[in-house]
Every structure is written in C-alpha cells, then in structure tokens.
Chain A
C-alpha cells in the first residue's frame, strides 16, 4: 500500500499572493459608483483602516451595503461626511445623525430592510441562490411590489440575492491563504459579505503563518478572500459603554 505523499503544490497558499503591502495597495481599483459591502454592527468589527482608505482614494457615488452606515460621526459616517455615498442599503439608522440628515435632504437614497432579510440576501448571493421566499415583512411596506406566495398556508415574500463589487471586512486572525478567524461580536456580517462580493478585502488584526490556524478552527475559508492587509492597531470606539455596579 503506498503512503499518501506530501505534495507542496497542494498547499492552498501556492500561487496565492493575497497579502498587500499597504491599505492603499489593498484598495487599488475601487471605482466611482462601486457597490461596496462593509462588515460591522454599528462601530463593532469595522475595518477602520480600509474605511479611511476609501475616503483617501477620492472615489464617489458609492452604494454602501452595511447594517448601520456608521454612528456618532465614526466608522462609515466619515464616508457620509465626505459626500462620497449616493445610496445606502442598511437595516437601522438609530442615532446615526449623519445618515438622518442626508436621508432627509435626499442627498443619499436609503433603503432600510429587515436585518435577517439583509443578511440572507447577501448569503444567497454568495451561495448561488438567485432569490428566496421569507415570511419576514409580510403585510408591511417591505412587501410592496414583491411576489407573495403561500407555503404551508403562510404568506411569504420573494427577496433577491444582494451582490457587491467589493466587501471590506475586519478579521481577528488571517493566514496567507486568507483563512480567517473573528473575535466575539466583531464577526457579525463579515464572513457572509466575504462570500458575496467580486473582490473581498480583509483588514486583519493578526497575520499568522500557513497552518497556524487548526483547520477545524477556521471561521471563513480563504477561498472567499482576494486581498489581505495586516493592520495591528485599531481604535475600536465604544458606542454605549455600560458597566454594572456589584
């Protein structure tokens, strides 16, 4: 019986040159009018350096696909303040006064959709599913203009996959192939968005060697990652800092 051979060509990093020398290098090619997904729940899990880098690029008329589009003047609010966003697809505005202002003035077109539908549309895009039926939003404005069909006697609405040109996400640890691990609630939409964009650009807190992440501990396989940039320092601002007294 012949033993399986260790073949260097089978290493997933062979030929993959994903690691970028700088944020600007990682963002090359991002164009006016691009559809860009950005991971993060509020200010948690934001790819801070990539967000700042897009403003430096000077691109405009962007469609931003992100849960909150910033808050408290931070995170993606700097895109709104720079006036480079034409349309936002999000789920929640809350205390994001920059978005309230630009929504009211009509400077930015805002589509607010249910969070579960938002992430499932993104998941569908990454998974090769064109559309799906969901009970969420039946009998509300979310269902306006959409196909409604009953399954097991319950109405569902048809929702279509949501793609993007780019996904900008933050990881806690990455290896050179782009296998990723995330930290706590910084994970949120990021691994799903990575599957749904033509080009996924990852900003990682830590860069490790190939094989340093146990295969069973990979949260997102590197097949979904095109570019990686190592950014060790982050602001990670608190939105609402709560403590208990006991």
Chain B
C-alpha cells in the first residue's frame, strides 16, 4: 500500500528534531504540523510573518488577519511573534531556519528542485509563482521534499535532470513520496525505505533516474 497524503506527512514529521525551527511549504507540507508532538517544542515559521505558528483555529475563532503562507486561517502559539516580511526573510535567507519542507514538481538526481512553474507545452502549463521557495531553498539548513512519486499522468517527478524552471540547484537532501523515502546523495537517488508493501522494483520503475539500493543498514 503506498503512503496516503497523511502518511507522507506523518513520515515527514520524523525528520524534525525536537526544538528545531521549521518552515512548512504550501499544500502537503502544511499537513506535517498535525503530527508534531507539543512536548517536542518544534517552532513553525510562516514566511508571511509568524514565528511560533499554532494549529488551525476552533470554529468561531477564525481571524482573516491571522493566516499562514497558504492564506489559510491559523493561530499563533504561546510565545509566538509577528513581524514584517523583511524580518521574516532575514530569518529565512540568513540561515536561522533549521529545516524546510517543500512540495515539488520535479526533483533531480543531483538535488535540483523545480516547484514553481510548468512551462506552456509541458503538462498543465501553469505558473504558480516563486513565493518564498527560492529564499527558503537558499537559506535553510536542510530541505526535505514531499511529493507524489509520479504525476497524475504517470510521468516520473524524480528525474535525472529537471525540465521545468528551477527553484534552486543541489539543495534537496531527502524526498518522501507515496512510494518511498529517498536520499539525494553522491550516487543520485538512494533508497532509504519503501512504503508498506511497495517493492524496490516498483520504486525503480516509477523513478526517472537510476536508483541506488542497499546503502542503508
């Protein structure tokens, strides 16, 4: 059984060290917050201006002026702070964020990330925009990507070389998909673990670049 979206998010939560400061990208990465244990003291930064973001509000407590980077209503945790965008990107670009979890359109075997535009003539042909992704990719301590292993059309999203416009080069250290967890290392994609009942051959077939297996104990 491949991982569901929730299971990908849950697996990703294991990447977050207690006490670390993390930024969770729009979409699937946002779900990771649901699997963080309060006692671990993980601090979530949202690039629109929150350090110490809390969960979604209780019904009736939503405030349209308290949102995350995906423009969803959120809360601010005790000890949280609000600030302007220049301060936010001082945190991000300045290397003060330990880990960023982002979505992807494509990840290459050398750790290149493409996640902001599908050029006209390729697939859906739509430019979502860069937002904070390039700054997060340039400044965060570690970049983990969450994505489906293949597009809805069955094309691989883990590729030898990205064909979509890049967000950054050589920044992705780990990819968690519905089929597997993979590291991006010196030998390209290195299999860390398969989703339950998914075989190495299934992962290999769905990956658009050579897969190294057996580096892990």
Q: Are B85 and A188 in contact (CB under 8 A)?
A: yes
Q: Are A243 and B83 in contact (CB under 8 A)?
A: no
Pair count A-B, CB < 8 A: 169
- State whether the Cβ of B63 lies closer than 8 Å to any Cβ in chain A: yes
Q: Are A44 and B65 in contact (CB under 8 A)?
A: yes
Enumerate chain A residues within 8 angstroms of B18, measured Cβ to Cβ: none
> Once bound together, how far apart are the Cα atoms of A142 and B48, in whole Å?
21
Enumerate chain A residues within 8 angstroms of B205, measured Cβ to Cβ: none
Q: Could you say which of B82, B85, B128 has the most chain A C-beta atoms within 10 Å of its C-beta?
A: B85
Enumerate chain B residues within 8 angstroms of A117, measured Cβ to Cβ: 134-135
- State whether the Cβ of B14 lies closer than 8 Å to any Cβ in chain A: no
Enumerate chain B residues within 8 angstroms of A151, measured Cβ to Cβ: none
- Assuming the contacts A183-B65, A238-B73, A239-B71, asked whether A92 and B129 have C-beta atoms less than 8 A apart, the reply is yes
> Once bound together, how far apart are the Cα atoms of A119 and B209, in whole Å?
37
Q: Chain B: which residue is nearest A103 at the CB level? A: B127
What is the predominant secondary structure among interface residues of chain B facing chain A?
Answer: loop
- State whether the Cβ of B84 lies closer than 8 Å to any Cβ in chain A: yes
Q: Are B168 and A140 in contact (CB under 8 A)?
A: yes
- State whether the Cβ of A22 lies closer than 8 Å to any Cβ in chain B: no
- State whether the Cβ of A59 lies closer than 8 Å to any Cβ in chain B: no
Enumerate chain A residues within 8 angstroms of B129, measured Cβ to Cβ: 90-94, 112
Q: Are B93 and A44 in contact (CB under 8 A)?
A: no
Q: Are B127 and A185 in contact (CB under 8 A)?
A: no
List 16 additional A-B contacts (Cβ < 8 Å) besides A116-B139, A137-B134, A187-B82: A41-B48, A41-B85, A45-B65, A93-B129, A103-B127, A114-B134, A120-B86, A135-B139, A142-B134, A184-B66, A185-B66, A188-B48, A236-B64, A240-B72, A242-B73, A243-B61
Provide 10 A-B residue pairs closer than 8 Å at the C-beta atoms, listed in order of the A residue. A42-B71, A90-B129, A91-B132, A92-B128, A93-B127, A116-B93, A184-B66, A192-B85, A240-B67, A240-B72
